[in-house]
Amino acid sequence: MITSYEVRQKNPLIHCITNIVVANFQANGLLAMGASPIMADAPEEASDIARIANAVVLNIGTLNQRTVDAMVLAGKTANQLNIPVVFDPVGAGASPYRLTTTRRLLKEINMSVIRCNAGELAAIAGVDWQAKGVDAGAGQADVTAMAKHVASTFNTIVAVTGEKDIVTDGLQTAAILGGDARLTQITGAGCLLSAVVAAFYCTRPSMEAVISAMTFYKRVGEQAVQGTFGDIVSHLMTALFELSQEDEHERNTHNSRF
């Protein structure tokens, strides 16, 4: 396992091309855990910023043609320089534009990790699902099977969240329990997690790093919901800050492998 303390020691620079809803929250969350964010979504500088970053996060939450152009430029530069790219296909199935863009980005860029909810995963897999905008929604399909299929198809690691998180590279699979359903009732908890995954992954690129990030964030979420609902956002920042100060092995009790 990789500890969040190790990530803090590295202080990675994370280039985020992200949505307008979560940009501030995501930047604050990265800072709280000891990473350094740079939000830069202009095509004019996307390659230049990507090349100085330790990891790139591509998030299509409020996409438009300029940010999509920037994502392609940043993603390609990162691929050339072996800099990891984490993809958050927010609301991938919500509109034809989102789905087309998701497919284009997956074709043109090698993603190190796809971090998504079950509805977004189903959209990528082409499986019937009742997603609700950017939220996971509901469906009958087997999430683990979809995750393995998408991981194998795109030669990537899929990290899909929900009550039970699944991390798979198509061959090995881990399930992570914990967290709290109230995290789906504030906006950006998933987007921030995608950035946290990027910070862990670039510290030691591996499936272990993704599992570690997801396990860490389950603990962060559990601490964040202790208190009243309106305090979850600020408590999330406090938990990211406090838990990443611990120079000890991350608790492994949430995980199972299969």
Q: Does 217 bind ligand ATP (CB under 6 A)?
A: yes
Residue closest to ligand TZP, measured at CB: 61
Q: Does 196 bind ligand ATP (CB under 6 A)?
A: no
In the block, residue with structure tokens 């082409």: 126
Taking CB under 5 A as the criterion, which residues in 120-139 touch Mg ion?
none
Task: Give the residue with the Cβ less far from ligand TZP, 83 or 134.
Answer: 134
Taking CB under 6 A as the criterion, which residues in 113-152 touch ligand ATP?
117, 134-136
Taking CB under 5 A as the criterion, which residues in 58-77 touch Mg ion?
none
**Interface pick for Mg ion out of 34, 89, 190, 221 (rule CB under 5 A):** 190
Taking CB under 6 A as the criterion, which residues in 16-55 touch ligand ATP?
none
Contact positions vs ligand TZP (CB under 6 A)? 19, 21-22, 61-62, 90, 134, 187-191
User: Minimum distance from CB of 143 to ligand TZP (Å)?
Assistant: 16
Alpha-carbon gap, residue 162 to 191, rounded angstroms: 13
Binding-site residues for ATP, please? 115, 161
